[in-house]
């Protein structure tokens, strides 16, 4: 209940929730048919679709950190899926990688069809075009937040972390335009910039902010409901709640002898919650600055339709089991 209402207020919450459901609905299929982690499949799709990319371009296009990309590339090279002529040359698909690429594309097309079953082709193209535009803007926002965090001393301005990748010029999205990899790139940039701004302004991680925001919006929030709504590991939620409690931002009560625990913000926590909501709303206004109100409504409504379809796919997968 609370999560649904939160999604009506913040675009980022809607997007992250959609991708959580997309991952949950698709994971059983990809595990059965393909294997490999999300990031490995994303790299195969990107490198195959663009016909070859260097590490800098992969980082810029995917929104992943350089270290993440390096760790993901290594096993794909070792297994003979990726190849390059020399260390810093473009990565391309080896024959085995090309076969895997075609299998991922086939499954991706089928899943895109299921996710967008009630969305017209013209609307889907419009949605993809907006996603590309928003991803470029999100990359610019991330670059700015990285600069501010470096100046504030939260990022070490060393050679390994000095300059965020610029958006590769002249690179256009390749066919076929699969839906979910584009959304993951947008979310990765938006999440990375959020992590920087929330750390710099309030000393909180993005996950800590998500927990605080749910408690602040729908208090008193039962701990059990928070765990369900976040869709994350129970121990991770518990550690985050304990951290926020020790920081004086939330308080927990047990109103009855039952095991239910209720969470509420303290006065300090409520003040930080309001401040961070203002930051979140300004960030989203900047993300959508190049699009009018009609575009924004269309994009959010499409996310809601995709979310409903992802939920339906999860139920189908449960029934299948």
Domain count across the chain: 1
pLDDT score recorded for residue 91: 94
Compute the average pLDDT of residues 132-154. Answer: 87
Task: Give the pLDDT score at 66.
Answer: 82
Nearest to 106 by CA among 21, 23, 178: 178
User: Does residue 253 form part of some domain?
Assistant: no
pLDDT beyond 50 at 8? yes
| pLDDT average, residue stretch 161-166 | 45
Mean pLDDT for all residues in the chain: 84
pLDDT greater than 90 at residue 59: no
- State pLDDT tens for residues 274-303: 898 888 889 999 999 999 999 999 999 999
Quick check: is 168 in a domain? Answer: yes
Q: How confident is the model at residue 181 (pLDDT cuts 50, 70, 90)?
A: confident
Q: Would you say 260 and 225 are in contact if contact means Cβ atoms under 8 Å apart?
A: no
Is 158 inside any structural domain? yes
Query: pLDDT-based confidence at 160, cuts 50/70/90?
Result: very low
d(Cα 202, Cα 211) in Å, to the nearest integer?
14
- pLDDT higher at 157 or 149: 149
Q: State residue 249's pLDDT score.
A: 93
The two structure tokens encoding residue 2: 């609370």
Residue 5 has pLDDT above 80, yes or no: no
* pLDDT at 1 > cutoff 60: no
Q: What is the pLDDT of residue 267?
A: 94
Output the CA angle 272-274-277, nearest 5 degrees: 105
Residue 279 is assigned to a structural domain of this protein: no
Quote the percentage of the chain above a pLDDT of 90: 33
In a domain, 123, yes or no: yes
pLDDT of 158: 55
Q: Nearest Cα to 62, choosing from 53, 289, 303?
A: 53
Whether the predicted pLDDT of 259 surpasses 80:
no
**Domain of residue 58, residue span:** 2-203+291-320
276/103 Cα distance (integer angstroms):
43
Q: pTM of whole model > 0.95?
A: no
Q: Is residue 282 part of a domain?
A: no
Predicted local distance difference test score (pLDDT) of residue 321: 59
DSSP 8-state symbol, 155 = S
Residue 58 has pLDDT above 90, yes or no: no
> Is residue 195 assigned to a domain?
yes
Look at residue 64 and give its three-state secondary structure: coil
Q: Kindly state whether residue 225 falls inside one of the protein's structural domains.
A: no
Residue 312 has pLDDT above 90, yes or no: yes
The Cα 182–Cα 171 span in angstroms is: 14
Q: What is the CATH number of the domain that holds 14?
A: 1.10.10.10
């Amino acid at each position: 209940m609370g999560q649904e209402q939160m999604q009506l207020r913040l675009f980022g919450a809607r997007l992250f929730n959609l991708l959580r459901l997309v991952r949950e609905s698709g994971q059983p299929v990809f595990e059965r048919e393909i294997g490999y982690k999300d990031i490995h499949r994303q790299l195969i799709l990107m490198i195959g679709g663009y016909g070859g990319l260097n590490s800098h371009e992969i980082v810029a296009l995917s929104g992943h950190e350089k270290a993440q990309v390096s760790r993901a590339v290594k096993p794909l090279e070792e297994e003979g899926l990726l190849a390059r002529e020399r260390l810093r040359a473009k990565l391309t698909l080896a024959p085995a990688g090309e076969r895997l690429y075609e299998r991922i594309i086939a499954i991706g097309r089928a899943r895109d069809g299921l996710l967008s079953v009630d969305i017209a082709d013209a609307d889907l193209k419009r949605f993809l075009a907006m996603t590309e535009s928003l991803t470029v803007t999100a990359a610019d926002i991330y670059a700015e937040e990285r600069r501010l965090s470096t100046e504030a001393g939260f990022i070490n301005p060393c050679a390994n972390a000095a300059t965020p990748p610029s958006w590769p010029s002249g690179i256009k999205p390749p066919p076929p335009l699969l839906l979910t990899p584009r959304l993951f790139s947008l979310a990765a940039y938006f999440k990375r910039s959020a992590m920087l701004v929330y750390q710099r302004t309030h000393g909180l991680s993005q996950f800590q902010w998500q927990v605080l925001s749910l408690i602040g919006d729908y208090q008193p929030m039962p701990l059990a409901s928070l765990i369900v709504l976040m869709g994350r590991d129970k121990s991770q939620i518990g550690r985050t709640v304990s951290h926020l409690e020790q920081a004086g931002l939330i308080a927990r009560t047990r109103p009855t002898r039952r095991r239910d625990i209720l969470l509420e913000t303290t006065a300090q926590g409520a003040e930080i919650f309001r401040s961070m909501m203002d930051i979140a709303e300004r960030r989203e206004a900047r993300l959508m600055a190049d699009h009018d109100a009609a575009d924004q409504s269309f994009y959010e409504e499409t996310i809601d339709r995709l979310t409903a379809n992802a939920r339906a796919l999860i139920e189908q997968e449960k029934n299948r089991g």
